[in-house]
Amino acid sequence: MRYVIYARKSGESEERQILSIEAQLAELQEYSAKEKLEIVASFQEAQTAKEPGRTKFAEMLSFLQEGYADGILSWHPDRLARNSVDGGQIVYLLDTGKIKDLKFPTFWFENTPQGKFMLNIAFGQSKYYVDNLSENIRRGHRAKLRRGVYPGSAPIGYLNNHRTRDIDIDPERAQIIGKGFELYATGKYTLKQIARAFKNMGLRSQKGNVLAVSCVQRMLSKSFYYGLFKFKGETYQGTHEPLITKKLFDECQEVMKFRGHIKTRKAEKTFPFRGLLTCGECKCAITAETQKGHNYYRCTKKREMCSQKYVREELLTEQVKNFLQKVSLSSQDAEKILRELDKDEQKAKLDNHVVLQNLKTEITDIGVKLDKLLSAYLDEIVSAEEYAAQKEKLLARKVECGEEIREIENGSVSWLEPARAFVKSLNHATELVQSGDKSEMTTFLKQIGSNHILFDKCISFSPKIPYKLAAERSEAGNSHLQNPYWRRVWDALGTFFAQVPNQFLV
């Protein structure tokens, strides 16, 4: 069966919300591809259907009457006719067999007496049309969302292109914003300092205002800049060009999380371990106070009876240093491991094609998973929240895979960077033991693990896997018969990072 496409939009204000002709055509083309319809011609016009006498509509009807096509594909019956004359003509052509079928993405039509009856109602029913308005707005957004275009005004650094309806990079502002992300990722600057830097570099909003600190914070947490965006709680992969990598974005989020903790920097200087520990008996926070020139830490005992006693800070410092010593690497040893890493890098480059293949497979798998997720959502097997959350996770991973692929193609090996960062942090532990900076120790402990507990005057916590391995290798003894510590660390970690580098970053 051969179909003609018919799209129409009038200039009337009441129809302002209806899909543009371009959007109707996009929807119809997608629909025809999905339904495998053969399209032989397309008619479009911008004229009201309230009164008879549309030229393109008349052309289409004679095209059908002459037998060049068998059916019409249109967005909704109200696009074809909104008066009884035009509606009657369509029905007459159906009755005489000149038109064999009508297809609408928004309306189910069957060429039966009941079908024609329903069609007649749809032609005449303006209430239906009004009811359909909100659905059409949603679909207008949907057309953009499907193209991966954010259906609102572009965030700073981008511009809405009103001609192509895409979102383009704003070359002047984009460069400054990219710089801002880079500065913030170093962890050396506060949001306020970043806001000031933006001001000095001449960054202004569309309205010409200097960006407020809250604005800068919101900006630095927008996934839009690395390629995803959220609309009504759902995440989409944008087709706009990213300003930054997801890696840089993640680094900024880490800094923000960390900086959020150090508002009370002063209090931390006085009581460096405050805010780190919770009570192992009653799960309350551990607080601190000074008695006779010594710092003491104790359970706040806010919830229930708790038998835990005061602990002197010196005792805690000793325990922390003890742990740090276990994961300490001297600068020389760190150098040795870093050199081994360089060798591995050479070797790994040869194996890269396997990794590339795996990443590409993963991207394909994600596509399949997204499809399944959507069906599960449409079949109401998963809730809207679940759907949104899962989709966001899958899309984020997809972007990550894409970045890893590009990195590998540019010649770097993805797991080496986390491994290098890890080795450097082991060397940092040595520095901490030497400097004795307790609030830095707290920061370090927070970064390398979680669930820090104080129980019977003893600190315990769950270190991230590589730190756990490093500590275990250290405890395994320092016998001269064994490999040196750095060797043992390296043997244990080489495999870990090559297999699950992302675990380290979580």
> C-alpha angle with apex 25: 22 to 26, nearest 5 degrees?
85
Instruction: Give yes or no for a contact between 273 and 437, defined as CB atoms under 8 angstroms apart.
Output: no
The token pair at 243 is: 């300003």
- The nearer residue to Zn ion, 69 or 316, going by C-beta atoms, is 316
Q: Provide, rounded to whole angstroms, the least separation between the CB of residue 444 and Zn ion.
A: 25
Angle between helices 331-378 and 416-435 (to 10 degrees): 130
Phi, psi (deg, nearest 5) at residue 384: -60, -40
- The nearer residue to Zn ion, 49 or 316, going by C-beta atoms, is 316
What element of type H or E holds 200?
A: helix 191-200
Among 183, 215, 306, 465, binds Zn ion (CB under 5 A): 306
- The nearer residue to Zn ion, 244 or 286, going by C-beta atoms, is 286
Query: Which window, 96-104, 206-214, 303-311, 404-412, contacts Zn ion (CB under 5 A)?
Result: 303-311
Q: Provide, rounded to whole angstroms, the least separation between the CB of residue 280 and Zn ion.
A: 8
Q: Provide, rounded to whole angstroms, the least separation between the CB of residue 300 and Zn ion.
A: 7
Among 59, 101, 234, 281, binds Zn ion (CB under 5 A): 281
Report how far residue 349's alpha carbon sits from residue 125's, in angstroms, rounded to the nearest whole number.
Answer: 67
Q: Provide, rounded to whole angstroms, the least separation between the CB of residue 155 and Zn ion.
A: 46
> C-alpha angle with apex 157: 151 to 159, nearest 5 degrees?
45
Q: Provide, rounded to whole angstroms, the least separation between the CB of residue 502 and Zn ion.
A: 35
- The nearer residue to Zn ion, 132 or 278, going by C-beta atoms, is 278
Report how far residue 320's alpha carbon sits from residue 338's, in angstroms, rounded to the nearest whole number.
Answer: 26
- The nearer residue to Zn ion, 68 or 310, going by C-beta atoms, is 310
Torsion of CA 471, 477, 480, 486, to 10 degrees: -10
- The nearer residue to Zn ion, 179 or 312, going by C-beta atoms, is 312
Query: Which window, 72-80, 88-96, 283-291, 455-463, contacts Zn ion (CB under 5 A)?
Result: 283-291
Bridge partners of 455, per DSSP, are 458
Report how far residue 470's alpha carbon sits from residue 30's, in angstroms, rounded to the nearest whole number.
Answer: 56
Among 21, 58, 282, 389, binds Zn ion (CB under 5 A): 282
Query: Which window, 293-301, 320-328, 353-361, 428-436, contacts Zn ion (CB under 5 A)?
Result: 293-301
Q: Does 299 bind Zn ion (CB under 5 A)?
A: yes
Query: Which window, 2-10, 19-27, 243-251, 276-284, contacts Zn ion (CB under 5 A)?
Result: 276-284
The token pair at 36 is: 């495998």
For the stretch 29-42, what's the b/e string if a residue is b when 16 or more beta carbons lie within 10 angstroms of its beta carbon? Answer: eebbeeeebeeeeb
- The nearer residue to Zn ion, 305 or 506, going by C-beta atoms, is 305
Q: Does 279 bind Zn ion (CB under 5 A)?
A: yes
- The nearer residue to Zn ion, 133 or 282, going by C-beta atoms, is 282
Report how far residue 506's alpha carbon sits from residue 500's, in angstroms, rounded to the nearest whole number.
Answer: 11
CA 444 to chain centre: 28
> Which residues in this chain contact Zn ion in the complex, by CB under 5 A?
279, 281-282, 284, 299, 306, 308
